[in-house]
């Protein structure tokens, strides 16, 4: 079987796909992935064939951080997806002609690629590394980070807000999607939820236990748990390829992957991360470096989209642009993050509780699920002060049992095995 995977130009969407592609290759299938040009060397280092996304698509960056209100920021993101979609469609058509896949796997954010995959008539799947925005009778509507509520009041709240949120999303997204569908001979759709129901398989890279349990998932959804991977940086600000996935183990000995400087930092140790996609989250690392070392807590910060040189780092702490989170998580007592699904689920899979300070996008819903699972603490960015962050970290230390419960739910979902089995089944 030949499998072609198309990803959006975001590390947070590429890295979750890599282990699935590698698992399919390990089963004897031929695989190829279309990804960020800057990541192709890392993919080659683990034996995965890759091609660069069309540069015109890669240049269309998410700029929601420029907006001052949540609605405008969300609209900005949707406009970005629509602009990318125009280039994705011919980009995937070229990849199909080159690879002649038996199965196509598409990132959920790639509207143009999804249109071409459906129109191709080949078996295809979507994967979503973030929470799926399906409406449900048993869960609050997606987008606002609402708490689940029972009873008549909760049902009424969810029904009204759910319709309003869905209508707003549909107005912003569906004209672009339907224009593409018409150009490729596909029927118009009324709702964005229908877009997510079109592929024979929708891989949700999370699991109930973190995600709210519900009985009304669409028939094509398969929750398989998170799939975590990342290149191993050798020096500050740089990456080197990881060993082939077949040679990696879930918990490699410290000498294999731990950076030498990690041993120099004292316990307790807290990992603080910023998003790989630029947003207004650098304040989180600034506040953490002010609050935690003064209380005797070592900080390892990964600044990602921000220049590490802008941070004032006290003795006994450290800031890198990137670092191997797996090695740090073996010692960390807590993770403080923006609420990206990648780092949040990676921490919880390692049974490390989290403090989530959500700055936008899907992070409000991620933060609320952390709180609901009693696997950590939610702190509003409007309330982010050194003392409140220190208090939140101390509170999160008491949530290790909840983090362990989430970790076990992830394991029970099946992970790579379940994801690869599901892709083989649709072929």
Which string of b and e fits 348-357 if b means at least 16 CB within 10 Å?
bbbbbbbbbb
Cross-sheet strand order for the sheet of 298-302? 318-320, 298-302, 269-273, 334-337, 354-356, 376-378
Give the DSSP letter string of 39-65.
GHHHHHHTT-EEEEPPHHHHT----GG
| pLDDT in the model for residue 246 | 37
CB 117 within 8 A of CB 98: no
Strand, coil or helix: 202 = strand
Q: Among candidates 199, 264, 227, 265, which has minimal Cα distance to 349?
A: 227
Number of C-beta neighbours around residue 100 at 10 A: 10
Q: Among candidates 330, 328, 271, 279, which has minimal Cα distance to 302?
A: 271
Give the separation between CA 111 and CA 117, rounded to whole angstroms. Answer: 10
CA-based angle 259:263:266, to the nearest 5? Answer: 135
Provide the residue-wise pLDDT of the chain in tens; the chain has 427 residues.
999 999 999 888 999 999 999 999 999 999 999 999 999 998 998 889 999 999 999 999 877 666 666 667 777 788 898 999 999 999 999 999 999 999 999 999 999 999 999 999 999 999 999 999 998 989 999 888 888 888 888 889 988 988 888 888 888 899 999 999 999 999 999 999 999 999 999 999 999 999 999 999 999 999 999 998 877 654 333 333 333 343 332 333 333 467 888 888 999 999 999 887 777 788 999 999 999 999 999 999 999 888 889 999 999 999 998 888 888 999 999 999 999 899 999 999 999 999 999 987 789 999 999 999 999 999 999 999 999 999 999 999 999 999 999 999 999 999 999 999 999 999 8
Give the E-state strand segments of 183-238 in sequence order. Answer: 201-204, 221-223
CATH class of domain segment(s) 245-411: alpha beta
CATH 3.40.50.2000 residue ranges of the chain are: 2-228+412-426, 245-411
Phi, psi values for residue 271, rounded to 5°: -90, 130
CB 148 within 8 A of CB 212: yes
Strand, coil or helix: 273 = strand
| pLDDT in the model for residue 237 | 37
Number of C-beta neighbours around residue 266 at 10 A: 10
Give the separation between CA 235 and CA 381, rounded to whole angstroms. Answer: 31
**2-228+412-426 CATH choice from 3.40.50.2000, 3.40.50.300, 3.30.930.10, 3.40.50.2300:** 3.40.50.2000
């Amino acid at each position: 079987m030949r499998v072609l995977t198309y990803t959006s130009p975001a590390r947070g969407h590429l890295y979750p796909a890599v282990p699935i592609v590698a698992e399919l290759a390990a089963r004897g299938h031929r695989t190829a992935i279309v990804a960020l040009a800057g990541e192709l060397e890392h993919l080659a280092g683990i034996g995965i064939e890759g091609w660069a996304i069309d540069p015109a698509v890669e240049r269309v960056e998410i700029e929601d951080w420029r907006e001052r209100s949540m609605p405008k920021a969300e609209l900005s993101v949707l406009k970005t997806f629509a602009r990318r979609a125009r280039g994705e469609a011919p980009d995937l058509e070229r990849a199909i002609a080159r690879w002649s896949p038996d199965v196509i796997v598409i990132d959920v954010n790639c509207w143009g690629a999804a249109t071409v995959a459906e129109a191709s008539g080949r078996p295809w799947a979507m994967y979503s590394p973030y929470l799926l925005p399906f409406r449900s009778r048993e869960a609050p509507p997606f987008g606002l980070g609402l708490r689940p509520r029972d009873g008549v009041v909760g049902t009424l709240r969810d029904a009204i807000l759910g319709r309003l949120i869905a209508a707003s999303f549909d107005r912003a997204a569906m004209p672009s999607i339907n224009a593409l569908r018409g150009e490729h001979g596909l029927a118009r759709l009324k709702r964005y939820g229908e877009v997510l129901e079109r592929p024979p398989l929708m891989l949700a890279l999370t699991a109930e236990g973190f995600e709210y349990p519900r009985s009304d998932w669409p028939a094509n959804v398969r929750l398989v748990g998170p799939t975590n991977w990342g290149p191993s940086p050798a020096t500050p600000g740089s990456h080197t390829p990881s060993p082939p996935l077949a040679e990696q183990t879930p918990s490699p000995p410290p000498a294999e992957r731990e950076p030498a400087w990690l041993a120099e930092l004292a316990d307790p140790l807290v990992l603080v991360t910023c998003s790989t996609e630029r947003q207004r989250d650098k304040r989180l690392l600034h506040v953490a470096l002010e609050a935690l070392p003064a209380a005797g807590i070592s900080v390892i910060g990964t600044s990602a989209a921000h220049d590490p040189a802008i941070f004032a780092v006290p003795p006994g702490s450290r800031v890198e642009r990137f670092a191997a989170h797996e090695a740090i998580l073996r010692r960390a007592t807590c993770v403080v993050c923006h609420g990206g699904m990648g780092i949040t689920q990676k921490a919880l899979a390692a049974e490390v509780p989290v403090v989530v300070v959500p700055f936008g996008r899907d992070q409000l819903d991620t933060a609320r699920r952390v709180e609901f699972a009693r696997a950590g603490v939610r702190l509003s960015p409007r309330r982010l002060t050194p003392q409140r962050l220190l208090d939140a970290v101390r509170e999160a230390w008491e949530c290790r049992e909840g983090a362990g419960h989430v970790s076990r739910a992830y394991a029970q979902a099946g992970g790579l095995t379940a994801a690869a089995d599901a892709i083989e089944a649709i072929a």
